[in-house]
Structure 1
Amino acid sequence: MSILHITSSANPGVSTSTLLGAEAAAKIGGPVTTRDVTHGLRPIDAAWIAANVTPETDRDPAARALLAQSDALVAELQAHDTLILSTPLYNFGVTAALKNWIDLICRAGQTFRYTDAGPQGLLHGKRAVIIVATGGTPAEGPLDFATPYLRQIMTFIGITDVTCIAADRLMADADRAMEDARARIAAL
């Protein structure tokens, strides 16, 4: 079983979400590819969108170059069995870096397709483990916009086997938060 671990903390050296994601990967077992999305990802812009909506056979070299990084990220996601998304909760949502990665991997015809019944995910048979760390916000509470968003993105691209693990309210009771998260990891 191959694992793709996406990390997105702006403070990776002391990131709880990154640490717990690595622990989840070790528990699941298998080769791990770790991608820190806080460095080197080009945000989408008008030129990228134009290249993306151009049929592949009509793309010129400049359009292909604009999409090369996204193509590589999609291929990386397609090549792994398990996806671990590690993110802190920043201002009630995912990090900007993680949102950027999501924008680059949500590609019509590659990770989802449009049908008469609406979008249909194409990444079947995969598993996702979402690791969220929060300072004071209760995970999956009314102010946690990250966890439901990430669940929705997983469903959107076809990953329906999703487990969410939170180390929440770390500033209030770090020991309890870590104990709870580690117990959930042990149950993977």
Structure 2
Amino acid sequence: MMKLLKINSSGRRGMSISRQKVDEIVSKLLVKYPSADVRVRDTAYDNLPFLSDHFIEAIFRNDDLSEEQRGAIQLSDRLVNELMESDIIVIGAPMYNFGIPACLKAYFDLIARAGKTFRYTEQGYPIGLLKNKKAIVVIATGGVPIGSPMDFSKNYIAAFLGFLGIEDIEFIALDENRFKLEEKEKKADEKLAMILN
């Protein structure tokens, strides 16, 4: 069974452009894969923790974890398993102050796990372990053009997902939406049609 992971990170629930587009993409994927299982991860409202001393200690130990350390990595283990089981990941990533929301960065920090989502070779070269997955990433910005010197979102997301082994990444740009929303939505719809064919 096809498994979809829907990830939102906008702090806006009702009027979020990225959330609306993520919903649309998932709906279209369900037309293509009607029996697909959809899991929802809302990083803005899941109260994901930032990395802590207990968490960092735990991920560098294989056994003899304290109760605090086990508790610290429990959520991370669940997020990693959820991601590993997914075939298509749809991410909504509005740009806040030139980068991704802090809640999405917190999520990324929790799923970057050596030995689970990536590993190092004997020479210290990282190899991503999440193969054969597709990511569709919606980036919405009010005024910053994607690909401009002020965009610290797209390349970071591409590098991070690639680090985990996800190489099939499509970006849906809804940038400069305060000035060019209609134009950008038309281009986004055209790109989506190609992706979902």
Structure 2 runs not aligned, ≥5 long: 31-35
Counterpart mapping for 1:134-153 below 5 A: 134-153=141-160
Secondary structure, in 3 states, of the residue corresponding to 1:86?
A: strand
What residue in structure 2 maps to residue 81 of structure 1?
87
Deviations 1:129-160 (A, max 9, x none): 11100111111222211010000011100001
Hey, what's the Cα distance between the residues in 1 that align with 2:165 and 2:72? 25
Structure 1 runs not aligned, ≥5 long: none
Secondary structure, in 3 states, of the residue corresponding to 1:104?
A: helix
Shift of 1:2: 1.3
What residue in structure 1 maps to residue 14 of structure 2?
13
Shift of 1:35: 0.9
Secondary structure, in 3 states, of the residue corresponding to 1:9?
A: coil
Return the TM-score normalized by structure 1: 0.95
What residue in structure 2 maps to residue 108 of structure 1?
114
Aligned length: 187
Secondary structure, in 3 states, of the residue corresponding to 1:12?
A: coil
Shift of 1:178: 1.6
Shift of 1:117: 5.2
* Residue 45 (structure 1) aligned to one of 40, 49, 52: 52
Runs of 4+ displaced beyond 3 Å: none
Please tell me the residue identity of whatever aligns with 1:91.
N
Percent identical residues? 36
Higher deviation after alignment, 100-109 or 33-42:
33-42
Hey, what's the Cα distance between the residues in 2 that align with 1:90 and 1:184? 24
Please tell me the residue identity of whatever aligns with 2:126.
P
* 1:70 aligns to 2:71 (yes or no): no
Hey, what's the Cα distance between the residues in 1 that align with 2:124 and 2:52? 28
* Residue 126 (structure 1) aligned to one of 133, 139, 154: 133
Return the TM-score normalized by structure 2: 0.91
